[in-house]
Amino acid sequence: MTDLNDIPLRPDLRGQLPYGAPQINVPVALNVNENTFGIPEVVAVEIIQRLAAEVIGLNRYPDREFMQLRGKLADYLGFGLIPEQLWAANGSNEILMQAFQAFGGPASSAISFGPTYSMYPNIARISLTPYREYEREANFELSADYVAQRIRDSKPGIVLLCSPNNPTGTPISLEVIEAAYQAFDGILIVDEAYAEFSEEESALSLLSGRPRLMISRTMSKAFAFAGARVGYVAADASAIDALRIVRLPYHLSSLTQAAALAALSFSELLLENVAQIKGQRDRIVRQVTGMGLRAYRSDSNFVLVEGFKDPNGVFERLLERGVLIRNVGIPNTLRFTAGTESETTKLLAELALVLD
The stretch 307-321 carries a mean pLDDT of 97
Q: How many Å is the Cα radius of gyration of the chain?
A: 21
- Tens-place pLDDT, residues 200-255: 999 999 999 999 999 999 999 999 999 999 999 999 999 999 999 999 999 999 99
Comparing CA positions, the residue from 272, 82, 308 lying closest to residue 196 is 272
Count CA within 13 A, CB hemisphere, residue 92: 22
Q: Are 278 and 237 within one domain? A: no
| In contact, 325 and 167? CB cutoff 8 Å | no
Q: Are 75 and 151 within one domain? A: yes
Sheet containing 131-135: which strands, arranged edge to edge?
86-89, 231-235, 213-218, 187-191, 158-162, 110-114, 131-135
pLDDT band at 79 (very low <50, low <70, confident <90, very high): very high
Give the bridge partners for 131, in sequence order: 110
pLDDT at position 356 over 90: no
Given 236, 265, 294, the domain boundary residue is 265
What does the pLDDT read at residue 80?
97
Q: Are 67 and 110 within one domain? A: yes
What does the pLDDT read at residue 15?
84
Q: Are 294 and 255 within one domain? A: no
What does the pLDDT read at residue 20?
78
pLDDT-above-90 percentage for the chain: 93
Q: Which helix (H) or strand (E) holds 13?
A: none
What does the pLDDT read at residue 36?
96
Higher-confidence residue of 324 and 21: namely 324
Considering Cα of 340, then 299, then 91, then 208, what sign does the dihedral take? positive
- Tens-place pLDDT, residues 295-313: 999 999 999 999 999 999 9
Range of the domain at 312: 23-39+271-355
Tell me, what CATH number does 309's domain have?
3.90.1150.10
What does the pLDDT read at residue 156?
98
Please state, in angstroms and rounded to a whole number, the distance separating the CA atoms of residues 259 and 92: 16
Q: Are 135 and 152 within one domain? A: yes
**Residue 16, domain member (yes or no):** no
Count CA within 13 A, CB hemisphere, residue 70: 20
Grouping H, G, I as helix, E, B as strand and the rest as coil, residue 130 is: coil
What does the pLDDT read at residue 249?
94
Q: Are 282 and 205 within one domain? A: no
What does the pLDDT read at residue 343?
98
- Tens-place pLDDT, residues 184-215: 999 999 999 999 999 999 999 999 999 999 99
- Tens-place pLDDT, residues 107-131: 999 999 999 999 999 999 999 999 9
Q: Residue 130: is it exposed, middle or buried by C-beta count within 10 angstroms (0-12/13-18/19+)?
A: middle
Grouping H, G, I as helix, E, B as strand and the rest as coil, residue 60 is: coil
Q: Which helix (H) or strand (E) holds 103?
A: helix 92-103
Q: Tell me what the pLDDT averaged over the chain comes to.
A: 96
- Tens-place pLDDT, residues 265-283: 999 999 999 999 999 999 9
Counted domains in the chain:
2
pTM, entire model: 0.96
- Tens-place pLDDT, residues 19-63: 877 788 999 999 999 999 999 999 999 999 999 999 999 999 999
Q: Are 253 and 277 within one domain? A: no
Given 223, 247, 265, the domain boundary residue is 265
Q: Are 290 and 336 within one domain? A: yes
Q: Are 158 and 304 within one domain? A: no
| In contact, 119 and 220? CB cutoff 8 Å | no
Q: What secondary structure letter does DSSP report for 308?
A: -
| In contact, 191 and 210? CB cutoff 8 Å | no
Q: Are 118 and 141 within one domain? A: yes
Tell me, what CATH number does 216's domain have?
3.40.640.10
What does the pLDDT read at residue 1?
78
Please state, in angstroms and rounded to a whole number, the distance separating the CA atoms of residues 93 and 229: 9
The stretch 136-148 carries a mean pLDDT of 98
Please state, in angstroms and rounded to a whole number, the distance separating the CA atoms of residues 242 and 354: 51
End-to-end Cα spacing for the chain: 48
Per-residue DSSP letters for 208-273? TT-TTEEEEEESSSTTS-GGG--EEEEE-HHHHHHHHHHSPTT-S-HHHHHHHHHHHTTHHHHTTH
pLDDT band at 5 (very low <50, low <70, confident <90, very high): confident
What does the pLDDT read at residue 67?
98
